[in-house]
Amino acid sequence: MIRPHELEIISVNDKEAILQAKVKYIQLAGSFVKIDLSHLNDETKTLMVEISHSEFKEKNIQKGNIVGIRPRTLRTFEDGAGI
């Protein structure tokens, strides 16, 4: 499970990107910006990222951009412990 606020949008060229995605939809209403992304090689695979408004402005994210994605923190659960 990946929570939207635990993902970070980075440059598509950043070596820390775990995947590349295309920005499909941006929702500015609310306390966080919600960004819908589709996997670059398979648009049926989608995910959502939530970022602050200041981070959104700083990164100049626009619909149609190709971006990199990485986890802000990485946690694993052995045999479902802690879930």
Domain assignment present for residue 78? The answer is no
| CATH number assigned to the domain comprising residue 24 | 2.40.50.140
Count structural domains, the chain. 1
Residue 81's pLDDT is what?
A: 64
Residue 1's pLDDT is what?
A: 61
What's the rounded mean pLDDT across residues 29-36?
96
Residues 6+ apart with CB under 8 A from 21: 37, 38, 39, 40, 47, 66, 67, 68, 69
Range of the domain at 23: 4-72
pLDDT in tens, 3-14: 778 899 999 999
Domain assignment present for residue 83? The answer is no
Q: Phi and psi at residue 45, in whole multiples of 5°?
A: -95, 115
Domain assignment present for residue 36? The answer is yes
Confidence band for 80, pLDDT divided at 50, 70 and 90: low
Domain assignment present for residue 81? The answer is no
